[in-house]
Structure 1
Amino acid sequence: MLELVFATNNAHKLTEVQAIVSDKFIIKSLADIDCQDDIPETGVTFEENAQQKTDYLVNKYGLYCFGDDSGLEIDALDKEPGVYSARYSGSRDMEKNIDLVLERLGANENRTARFRTVISLYLNEQQHFFDGAIEGTIVPERRGVEGFGYDPIFIPNGYDKTFAEMTSEEKNAISHRAIAVSKLTDFLLSK
């Protein structure tokens, strides 16, 4: 069975991806390969950051791997926080990041947004990219306790619940990461 290292230390992302991939592949975390490094994310696009992660692992360990970069793009904020989603407030404190988004949006009636994910896969000496996006709306206050990141303030189009009000199964059926991981899985199964 194919083994891939997922270039993340984010336990929530790892759990989501493992649930989507199920038993089709073996997904190892950075901890599984004893990598405690803080892999750089200095790109200005999701693609650049995702590729930085895979390049780092390939150069250091020579393993088949994939990395992702994800973020929230809010139209009224010129697509911020974007690639800076995890550290929008200057720290990785998601409560502060959410507070800053809500403060900057204020009473703005344009609350359209999307979550985006780009996955970079390194396999058989080749780089491949897979993307996923889900459109939605930013609500003015937090709702729900599930999920992570900006989930409490994002309602996907066609739903009346935030990601944080959904079960992991509900979210994993429609999320940006689920779309990208499904494309990755379909590609790997076609090999």
Structure 2
Amino acid sequence: MSGHERRLVIASGNQGKIREFKQLLSGLPIQVEAQPDGLDVDETGSTFRDNARIKAKVVARLTGDWALADDSGLSVDALAGAPGVHSARYAPTDQERIAKLLNALNGVADRSAHFCAALCIAAPGGELLLEVEGRCDGSIASEPRGDDGFGYDPVFEVTGTGRTFAEMTPNEKKKHGHRGRAFALLQPELDRLLAKS
């Protein structure tokens, strides 16, 4: 590949998410950038995939680079799939979101839930280059556990592990997590795109 690497802008203002993507993308011949400060995209979609598309297209158009957006969230069966696409806006802070969720599940026996991550890469002309979705099943713990991760990680216990995302190393989270799984689907496709361009 030639000396200049393709820039890929992460369509997110979430520092935790940007860090995670930089780790996930570290093996590829691309320069990963955060989206410009102060950029706020209205997420008006009704599904994770819709929102990922909206964010990727807007950021690609505004930056003139390829943009990678993810829309992900937590869906809890007993809450009819809530918080779902509103996961990030469920309450003002991570702590408050977790407290609100645990409160909503107070006394509820069925604590099954899943995380879904939809990833989308768009080109500046509005073309969708890639779309994938990853899913991770688990349940909501009765109280937060672990010091790593962000968002709902301390209360999401991954099926078959007995541990929350916040109790896992980054590599374990990559292996089990919805974003890591979506990324495993994305990476070979992105390799092909990069080889073509």
TM-score, normalised by the number of residues in structure 2: 0.89
2:14 maps to 10
Match 1:136 to one of 135, 138, 158: 138
C-alpha displacement at 1:187, in angstroms? 0.3
List per-residue Cα deviations over 1:45-76 (Å, max 9, x = no partner). 11111111112123323321111111000000
Runs of 4+ in structure 1 off by over 4 angstroms are none
The more displaced of 13-22 and 113-122 is 13-22
Q: Secondary structure at the match of 1:149?
A: coil
CA contact (8 A) 1:137 1:157 kept: yes
How many residues of Structure 1 are paired with residues of Structure 2 in the alignment?
186
Amino acid at match of 2:107: A
Q: State the one-letter code of the partner of 1:102.
A: L
Choose from 32, 52, 55 the match for 2:54.
52
Kindly indicate whether the alpha-carbon contact (under 8 Å) linking 1:17 and 1:181 is maintained by their aligned counterparts in 2.
Answer: no
Q: 1:146 aligns with which of 120, 137, 148?
A: 148
Question: One-letter code of the match for 1:100?
Answer: K
Residue 111 of structure 1 corresponds to 111
- State yes or no: 1:84 paired with 2:83: no
Write the distance in 2 (CA, Å) between the matches of 1:151 and 1:51: 24
**Residues 140-177 of structure 1: CA deviation (Å, up to 9, x unaligned):** 11111110000110111110111111112211222100
Q: Which amino acid aligns with 1:29?
A: A
Q: Which residue, out of 137, 157, 160, partners 1:158? A: 160
TM-score by length of 1: 0.91
- SS of the residue 1:119 aligns to: strand
User: C-alpha offsets along residues 95-116 of structure 1, whole Å, 9 cap, x if unaligned?
Assistant: 1111111111111111110011
For residue 124 of structure 1, report the CA deviation from its aligned partner: 8.1
Q: Which 5+ residue runs of structure 1 have no aligned equivalent?
A: none
Report the secondary structure of 2:44's partner residue. Answer: coil
Q: Distance in 2 between matches of 1:122 and 1:94?
A: 29
Cα RMSD (Å): 1.5
State the alpha-carbon separation in 2 of the partners of residues 183 and 42 from structure 1.
25
Structure 2 unaligned residues grouped into runs of 5+: none
Tell me if 1:29 matches 2:29. Answer: no
Instruction: Calculate percent identity across the aligned residue pairs.
Output: 35
In the alignment, the residues of structure 2 paired with residue 18 and residue 87 of structure 1 have an alpha-carbon distance, to the nearest angstrom, of 24
